[in-house]
Each structure stands twice: as C-alpha cells, then as structure tokens.
Amino acid sequence: MRQLPLVLLVFVFLSPSFIAQTDNGCKLKFTGKARKPVKMRSPNKNYPKFNDGEPISVQEFLTEVCTEASTKVPDPVPATTTMLVERQTITIRAFVLAMKRDPDNDLHIQIGDKAKPFKQNQIIVEIPPTNKFCDVRTRMMDLLRAEAPAAPKQHVFTDPPEVEITGYLFLDSHHGSTCTGSGGRGIKNGLTKSPVKSTWEIHPVISLVPVNE
C-alpha cells in the first residue's frame, strides 16, 4: 500500500477544513444547570413560526417579541419545563457582532441590525454543544475562522457577517426579565455598559445561514 508523504499528512490534519470538522464543540457536553432542559430542546420541535417564518430585525424582536412575551411569564419561572410563550420559532436577520464560548460550552453570540458601530442595541443568541447542534455550530465556527483562523474563545468581528438565525424563544430568567437591559451579560468591547438589551434570547439556535450564500 502506498503511503502518503509526511508533509501531506501534516497538511491534512492542520488544514482549516479538518479543524472545522473536529473542533467545533460538537462532542462537548453542556455543563450548565439553569433551565437546562429548555436550553437543550430538540432542533425538531414543531413550534408555531413567528411572523409566518419571515425574518424580523433585532429591533422588532425587542419591541414586538420581547415586550409581548414579558407579559406572559409565570411566577415562578419553571426550571425544567418550557413556558408556553417560549414555544415558538423565530427567525432574525442581523449581523454577528461578537461571540464567545461560555463556560457551559454554549456559543454566546451577539447580534445587531447594523454592521457598525458596536454601540447599538444587541441581543444574545446561543448555540449549545453536542452533536444535535453540530451543523449550526460548525456554520458559526466557519464564520469565526474566516476572520480569526485561530478561533479564539472570544472575538469581536471587524467585518461582521450578516446571517439569518432561526431558533426558539428563551428567557434567561436567572438574569431577570427585561427588554431594556443586559441582566449583567454581554461582551462590552470597551463600552462602559453592555449593549445587550434583553434577557430574552434565541436559545437554542437551530439554523444559521449567511445572507450572501
């Protein structure tokens, strides 16, 4: 059997395509506890589609989805079951401004309606680990590596990609319920206050498609 040259083997194992297939967190476990069953919902849920599945903006999420959802939160928020208001699928078209890998292995992504400036209203969307979310997680990691080949654990995009993101509504109730504040979360990128304006998220993200595809 003919053996591949050592140089070729090194190239294969170090090439971006190989890394993209093996280092996207698909084999990691979710290590968080707060509302874990809701964060880890199956990508195959047949929830109603907000706005008939047509994409909305971040601002529309804040003024329409968030404000309406906030009136339908039970007390206490259930720790292990999905609230009725969270049982909807939402698509948002926006720019990916920043991202990081959280300690629980979720990909924390901040999106806004414009590519610049960073100081604009943003919301958080999250992609869990495990093979269930491997395709969408790989999509996000490919966008990261296109700008930052070393794939740092936290990154602010200099050329934010525009994407359509689809996923389920989720309240990060551990940080409160608000449509005007960050709940103490978010990448600041030098700002004195986080630009995140809601504790409502899209979580999990089940689809991510670059707009220029």
Q: What angle do CA 127, 129, 133 make, to 5 degrees?
A: 65
Q: What CATH number should be reported for the domain holding residue 148? A: 2.40.50.140
Residue 213 pLDDT > 90: no
For residue 1, being part of any structural domain is answered with no
Q: Tell me, what's the pLDDT at 80?
A: 96
pLDDT in tens, 77-115: 999 999 999 999 999 999 999 999 999 999 999 999 999
Report pTM. 0.89
Q: How far apart are CA 165 and CA 97, in angstroms?
A: 13
Residue 179 pLDDT > 60: yes
Q: Which two tokens stand for residue 126?
A: 């999250």
Based on the structure, what is the number of domains in the chain? 1
Range of the domain at 113: 6-210
Residue 18 pLDDT > 60: no
